[in-house]
């Protein structure tokens, strides 16, 4: 359904070089009826490409989160049974996030990331390896991942709010219902990711050794993975 234009937004920076193409390529074609009978103009190719990219990267990211928590549970739940309900709660939320983006991917016919097997392998390693060091290291991993994902979702929310105010045939502007729904989903998931971040801190992520190396290393890997999953 969506086009394949590659945009140039860089994750982890505040620069939105995607914004000018979104404005420049708007093609006014009336398509959808709204509740009051007025129609929205069609999304521009750049807007469609951006949505395509949002769904692809978020589906890949939530798949990764599912595998990270599975890895943590596998390593930690027997030796540290008090962590099991905490990890289970976060994992179940990630499974819901993943299935929501799976459904969006099908609905919008967005192709998945071409290197999905690599995301599964990498996320499993990211879940298992820190957990083998210590429970605190696993929590430091969660803290790092959720920090990056929280920022990533906030960037998407900013772009959706700024760039999808579409003209209607009566001359007014509004967000199409689909964009409002996607925005609500991302807001809900962003809030849950930030709860996971708080949970990790409450469970001694800062006590991990080596904390700085772990968290900064994992943040860099996550940013690189996001950049790649948006494009490949
Ligand atoms: Fe998630
Ligand atoms: Fe999360």
Token digits of residue 165: 């105010």
Tokens of 76: 């930690």
Q: Which ligand is nearest to the CA of 196?
A: 2
Model confidence at 12: pLDDT above 50: no
d(CA 85, CA 73): 10
> pLDDT band at 228, cuts 50/70/90?
very high
Mean pLDDT of 55-81: 95
Task: Tell which wins on pLDDT, 178 or 175.
Answer: 178
Check whether 94 is labelled as a binding-site residue. yes
Distance 147 CA to ligand 2 centre (A): 9
Could you tell me which of 151, 125, 150 has the C-alpha nearest to residue 138?
A: 125
CB 126 within 8 A of CB 218: yes
Q: Are 226 and 57 in contact (CB under 8 A)?
A: yes
The rounded Å distance from CA 171 to ligand 1 centre is 38
- How many Å lie between the centroid of ligand 2 and the Cα of residue 33? 36
In terms of average pLDDT, the best of 42-56, 67-81, 104-118, 173-187 is 67-81
Q: What is the pTM of this model?
A: 0.75
d(CA 181, ligand 2 centre) in Å? 20
In this structure, which ligand is nearest to the CA of 58? 1
Q: What is the DSSP string of 102-171?
A: HHHHHHTTPPPPTTHHHHHHHHHHHHHHHHHH-HHHHHHHHHHHHHHHHHHHHHHHHHHHHH--EEBTTS
Ligand-binding site membership of 62 (annotated): yes
144 neighbors 154 (Cβ within 8 angstroms): no
Q: Is 196 annotated as a binding residue?
A: yes
Report whether 152 belongs to an annotated binding site: no
Residue 101 Cα to ligand 1 midpoint, Å, equals 10
143 annotated to a ligand binding site: no
Distance CA 205, CA 148 (A): 15
For residue 230 the two structure tokens come to 């948006």
Phi and psi based region of residue 12 (left: phi greater than 0; alpha: psi -120 to 50; beta: remaining): left
Measured in Å, residue 45 CA sits from the centre of ligand 1 at 28
The pLDDT score that the predictor gives to residue 41 is 65
End-to-end CA distance of the chain: 17
Q: Does position 172 have pLDDT exceeding 80, yes or no?
A: no
- Per-residue model confidence (pLDDT) at position 18: 38
Q: 178 labelled as ligand-binding?
A: no
Q: Which long-range contacts (CB under 8 A, 24 or more apart) does 131-136 make?
A: 131/71, 131/72, 131/74, 131/75, 131/76, 132/75, 133/208, 134/208, 134/209, 135/76, 135/80, 135/83, 135/203, 135/204, 136/203, 136/204, 136/205, 136/206, 136/207, 136/208, 136/209
């Amino acid at each position: 359904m969506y086009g394949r234009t590659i945009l140039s937004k860089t994750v982890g920076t505040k620069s939105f070089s995607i914004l000018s193409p979104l404005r420049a390529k708007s093609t006014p074609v009336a398509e959808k009826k709204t509740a009051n009978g007025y129609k929205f103009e069609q999304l521009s190719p750049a807007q469609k490409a951006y949505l395509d990219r949002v769904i692809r990267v978020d589906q890949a990211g939530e798949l990764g989160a599912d595998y990270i928590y599975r890895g943590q549970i596998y390593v930690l739940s027997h030796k540290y049974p008090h962590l099991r309900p905490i990890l289970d709660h976060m994992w179940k939320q990630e499974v819901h996030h993943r299935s929501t983006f799976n459904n969006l991917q099908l609905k919008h016919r967005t192709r998945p990331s071409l290197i999905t097997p690599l995301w599964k392998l990498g996320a499993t390693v990211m879940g298992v390896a820190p957990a083998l060091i210590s429970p605190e290291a696993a929590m430091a991993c969660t803290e790092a991942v959720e920090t990056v994902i929280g920022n990533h979702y906030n960037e998407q929310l900013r772009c959706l709010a700024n760039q999808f105010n579409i003209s209607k045939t009566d001359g007014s502007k509004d967000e199409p219902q689909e964009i409002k729904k996607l925005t609500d989903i991302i807001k809900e998931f962003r809030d849950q990711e930030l709860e996971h971040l708080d949970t990790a801190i409450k469970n001694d992520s800062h006590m991990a050794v080596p904390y700085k190396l772990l968290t900064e290393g994992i943040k860099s890997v996550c940013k690189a993975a996001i950049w790649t999953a948006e494009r490949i």
